[in-house]
Amino acid sequence: MTADLLSAQDHMDLAARWGGPDSVPFPVVLSEGEGAWVTDSEGRRYLDFHGGYSALNFGHRHPALVAAAKAQLDRITLSTRAFHNDQYGPFCRELAELTGTEMVMPSNSGGEAIDTAIKVARKWAYQVKGVPDGAAEVIVAASNFHGRTISIISFSSHENHKAGFGPFTPGFKTVPFGDIKALRGAVTENTAAILLEPVQGEAGIVVPPKGYLNEVRQLCDDSNTLFIADEVQCGLARTGDTLALDHEGVKADLYTLGKSLSGGLLPLSALIGRADVLRVIGHGDHGSTFGGNPLACAVGLAAVRLLATGELQERSRELGAHLHTRLNELDGVTEVRGRGLWAGVQIAEERWADRRVTERLAERGLLCKEARGHLRVAPPLVVTREEIDLGVDMIAEVLAP
């Protein structure tokens, strides 16, 4: 039976029977998307305030990105890095120019970019800083989320991410996010890098105290330590600037990017930053069959050019201010955290029913995500003011006593 003849329940039953365990998806079977809207297999439309964990910053099926993908599909999709391709160099150059960095190492997922950053930081520590072999440490923040690989979950503070997966990779220290005193106390002569999200996503869209990121930069300079900024979720205009660190006028040594780097069309991530640091990786030290493939680079190049106009950054700033104002006005909301079109909405305990809140929103036609006691709001950056008002009104209805 073809997919279009199956009911929504048929699709969910097939996923439960044949798909491996992952997250617990909503009982909605999406089949189409355009801009800030999606349609399920039964024809019902929903306003998307989920945004694919920031992978859909450009909205669903942005015409420029779809056109780039279609054009590249007619040419070549994979060359591997055993050969050059005519999309790789232009993509790397224009991404570096957009972000004010010097070198780009493309890969496929955010977790892969983080793993690569850790490898680079360790090798840099041994070759450049003079840390004894095998002794390099990376300092991370509590409540972080950097991915799901075995090394990354090794320094997760979320026990449900770790239970049953040990033994874990050594070489990491954890300190409270936003606590510069604790961070200073953790740095030693063996510290290779400090790895942070400039705005913590899964923790609740948590913005650190003003000045903290500048102090992290100064600490790294004083201790000859690398500053690695994980901008997989918070980067590429989500917070209103191209990079979330731009809000503080801070430069990291290395950044990880992903998710919206290809506009939600296909997997693409990158480690970007200082050329002298990235060049500690020699030929054959690291690689990826699909990393930097021509199809991903063609779409990524189109995404970079959309960001280069500054329009999406401006939309995120202006519409984000409106979104935060509207959310702060809602009865039952105790706090709204975040920047740009990204908000962690803390709801009074007596109004919060965990997943039931987002289920009731879906019933009204709004897709959101609950996470650790708050509501995550992250619409695509192409959302309109009217669509923001429509979505917030639905949230108000669900929170009404």
What positions carry a catalytic annotation?
Answer: 145, 230, 259
Termini Cα distance of the chain: 45
Q: Write out the two tokens for 5.
A: 């003849």
Separation CA 106–CA 6 (nearest Å): 38
Distance (Å, rounded) from C-alpha 319 to C-alpha 323? 6
- SS3 category, 299: helix
CA distance 379 to 290: 29
Evaluate whether 315 touches 382 at the Cβ level (below 8 Å). Answer: yes
Q: How far does Cα 111 stand from its chain's mean position? A: 10
DSSP bridge pairs for 261? none
Contact at 8 Å (CB) between 383 and 40? Answer: no
Residue 256 is classified by DSSP as E
Task: State how far the Cα of 388 lies from the Cα of 342, in Å rounded to an integer.
Answer: 12
Residue 365, exposed/middle/buried by CB under 10 A (0-12, 13-18, 19+)?
middle
Q: DSSP string of 114-180? A: HHHHHHHHHHHIIIII-PPTT--EEEEETT----SSHHHHHT-S-HHHHTT--S----EEEE-TT-H
Element (H, E) at 321: helix 311-328
How far lies 320's CA from each of 62, 237, 298, in Å?
A: 20, 11, 29
The token duo for 146 is 């950097």
SS3 374: strand
